Structure 1
Amino acid sequence: MRLAELKGEYDSIFSLGDLCLASIQLKKNNLRLFSGVLDWVGSPQLSEVNRLLMNRFTGFMELDNLRVVGDAGEEMLLVSEDAYHIFSNHDFTKASNTYTNLSAYPEVKQKFDRRIQRFLEKMESCQRILFVRTEGSLQDVYDLQTVLTGLVKHDFRILLINHAPVGGIVELDWPLDKVCAVQFPNGEKWVGNDEIWKTMLKGIHHL
């Protein structure tokens, strides 16, 4: 699928990781109307995201699966969700939690549960959904398309952005019906590609 075929209106637009970059860019381009489950966590392995979606988030962010692995800056703890190999670095403040006691866990879990419920409701009710993911192999994205086909009741599209040593937007001809895959420059991906994101997302609208 080419970028031109991705244009149009969507009932909902969700980031599927792998970091906060996709959700940040969706927000900058006025396409993020609410928080998704994976907006502010690290999900480096798309295969694990696929398993999470296939399981409809069963067991995700359970206290027994959480492990503090270090610091996420001066104010936050880096917490590993070991069941799905996902990392939280925006949920547990050092002011309210310690390395041995995640005392804010009930509030964090409630937040994730609300987002999960909304996500699953959107999978049932929306007529057209766009999923945006940074970093993924052809095989993992094929598996993602398969999982979403079973999860989404109506229509959906997947926009995949891989970062590589390229000079601009490079469209990839992947043989997947619902996937548009592109490459972006990998030099300064957090701040240097704003205009490229803007160009790519032009013509995509939220209902």
Structure 2
Amino acid sequence: MKIDEIKGQYNAIFSLGENCIPALKLRKFNLREFAGPFDWVGSPNLPKVINLIRTHFSNFLIGDNLIVPHYASNEDLLVVDNANHISFNHDFKTDVNTLTHLPSLPQIQKKYEKRINHFNEALSNSQRLLFIRTEANIKDTLELENVLSQLVKNHYCILIVNHTAVKEIVEVDWKIKNVCAIEMPNNDIWDGNDFLWERIFQGIALM
């Protein structure tokens, strides 16, 4: 698919990681009405993300799988779901939690349960969905498309954004159904490409 082919209206647009960039850009350009399960976490391992989607997040954020390597900041702990290679940088506040004790875990589990339920309901009930993933290869994207094709009941598109040594948006034809793959400059990926994201999102809207 080309960028022009993903233009249109969607019931929801979800980030699939691998960091906060998709959620940040969706929020910046008013294309995000609610949080998804991958919005503010680190999810570098796409096969693990795919497995979570396939299994309806069955072993997500379980206490026995969590490790706390260090502080993410003065306000937040870094908590890692070791089974799923998911890093939580913004959820576990240091005024409540410590490196050895996470009393806010039940509350955070409940928050993510709500996000997961909304995500799963959208897969079944939405007429049009858009998924955005930064950093993915062809092999993993093929598997992602295969899993989503079994779970999404209606129309959907996947936008893959890889940051490489390019100067502009470069469309890459991976010849995968429902997938638009592009490359974007890899310098200052957090703020420097806003004008390119704006171009991508032109003609995309929420219903």
Shorter-normalised TM range: over 0.9
Give the whole-Å Cα distance in 2 for the aligned partners of 1:74 and 1:187: 27
Q: What's the TM-score once normalised by structure 2's chain length?
A: 0.99
Give the whole-Å Cα distance in 1 for the aligned partners of 2:21 and 2:33: 16
Partner of 1:182: 182
Partner of 2:66: 66
Give the whole-Å Cα distance in 2 for the aligned partners of 1:193 and 1:178: 24
SS of the equivalent of 2:129 reads strand
What RMSD in Å do the two structures reach over aligned CA positions? 0.6
Question: Aligned letter for 1:50?
Answer: I
Q: What's the TM-score once normalised by structure 1's chain length?
A: 0.99
Q: Any idea what the Cα deviations from partners look like across 1:100-141, whole Å, max 9, x if unmatched?
A: 000111110000001111111111110110000100000001
Identity level (%): 44
Structure 1 position 11, deviation (Å): 0.7
Structure 1 position 39, deviation (Å): 0.1
Question: Aligned letter for 1:185?
Answer: P
Give the whole-Å Cα distance in 2 for the aligned partners of 1:73 and 1:44: 20
Give the whole-Å Cα distance in 1 for the aligned partners of 2:74 and 2:190: 20
Question: Aligned letter for 1:157?
Answer: C
Q: What is the correspondence of 1:2-151 to structure 2 with a 5 Å cutoff?
A: 2-151=2-151
Structure 1 position 162, deviation (Å): 0.1
Give the whole-Å Cα distance in 1 for the aligned partners of 2:202 and 2:72: 33
Q: Any idea what the Cα deviations from partners look like across 1:51-85, whole Å, max 9, x if unmatched?
A: 11111100100111111011112210001101111
Give the whole-Å Cα distance in 2 for the aligned partners of 1:40 and 1:2: 27
Give the whole-Å Cα distance in 1 for the aligned partners of 2:159 and 2:13: 10
Unpaired stretches in structure 2, ≥5 consecutive residues:
none
Give the whole-Å Cα distance in 1 for the aligned partners of 2:104 and 2:56: 24
Give the whole-Å Cα distance in 1 for the aligned partners of 2:54 and 2:155: 17
SS of the equivalent of 1:93 reads coil
- Misfit runs of 4+, over 4 Å: none
Give the whole-Å Cα distance in 2 for the aligned partners of 1:177 and 1:120: 21
Structure 1 position 145, deviation (Å): 0.3
